[in-house]
Structure 1
Amino acid sequence: MYHEQTIRDLRRRRRNRLLAALLACVLAVAVGIGFSAVSDSLREQGAAAVRDAVLDSAMQCCAIEGSYPSSLDYLEREYGLQVNHDDYVITYEAFAGNVMPSVVVVPR
């Protein structure tokens, strides 16, 4: 049976297509925002993990040798600390051998 399309039917179809396209755009923006938030959170957690690893290695060095190391290079060379310098900027400041060093890790 042949059903003739009315102007009302055409307008309804056009409106439904427009709503579907708008919904798809809103969904794409929401996914992008969610991905960005998760990515930022993971980078911050990674920086905290690197800082903890550096401090753990420094405490191990202090326990074995009796003083904190004077540089991050010493920890990497002698204690096997591996840090991805391409992803993180690490500031290691040792004041004295008997004072725990200050470590700041910033994701790039």
Structure 2
Amino acid sequence: MNRFNKQNKSLSLFPRLLFSIIIFIVFFIFFYYGISSVSHTSIAEEKQSLETALKHAVVHCYSTEGNYPESLDYLVEHYGITYDAAKFFVDYRPIAANIMPDITIISLEDPS
């Protein structure tokens, strides 16, 4: 029983501190990856939802008015289409009054 002998505690503290730091870094990396994955999934679902809403609005316009809308602004004003222009670029190209327009949606946020 060496109650009065002082041992060097700084040497035994370093491995425990290093282990704690490594565990913290690993948890932080997993947390960051999880948040990033959820963000990318959310953007993809938003894009799909916008595409579906635009197609439904275009078809609804054609069925009620007899022709396809001439612009995206017409859909926004008369059919309540809303979207975040900072996240998505919508290319709306009408072909003719009786042919469904070409709608392309491009995500402006970094996909990586």
TM-score class, shorter:
0.7 to 0.9
Matched, 1:89 2:68: no
Cα-Cα RMSD: 2.0
Q: Pairwise mapping of residues 47-86 of structure 1 onto structure 2 (< 5 A)?
A: 47-86=47-86
- CA shift at 1:96, angstroms? 1.7
Q: Indicate if the aligned counterparts of 1:59 and 1:68 stay in contact, CA closer than 8 A.
A: yes
Matched, 1:6 2:7: yes
Q: Which amino acid aligns with 2:70?
A: S
- What is the TM-score when the length of structure 2 is the normalising length? 0.82
- What is the TM-score when the length of structure 1 is the normalising length? 0.84
- CA shift at 1:3, angstroms? 5.9
DSSP 3-state at the match of 1:67: coil
Partner of 1:43: 43
**Rounded Cα–Cα distance in structure 1 between residues aligned with 2:5 and 2:87:** 63
DSSP 3-state at the match of 1:106: strand
Seen in structure 2, the aligned counterparts of structure 1 residues 10 and 30 have a Cα distance that, compared at 3 Å, is: same
Matched, 1:105 2:93: no
**Rounded Cα–Cα distance in structure 1 between residues aligned with 2:11 and 2:78:** 74
Q: Which amino acid aligns with 1:53?
A: A
Identical amino acids, percent of aligned pairs? 23
- CA shift at 1:25, angstroms? 0.8
Cα deviation 1:26-65 (Å, max 9, x = unaligned)? 1111111111111111111111111111111100000001
Q: How many residue pairs were aligned?
A: 107
Unaligned runs of 5+ in 2: none
Matched, 1:19 2:16: no
- CA shift at 1:74, angstroms? 1.1
Cα deviation 1:6-29 (Å, max 9, x = unaligned)? 34x543331111011111011111
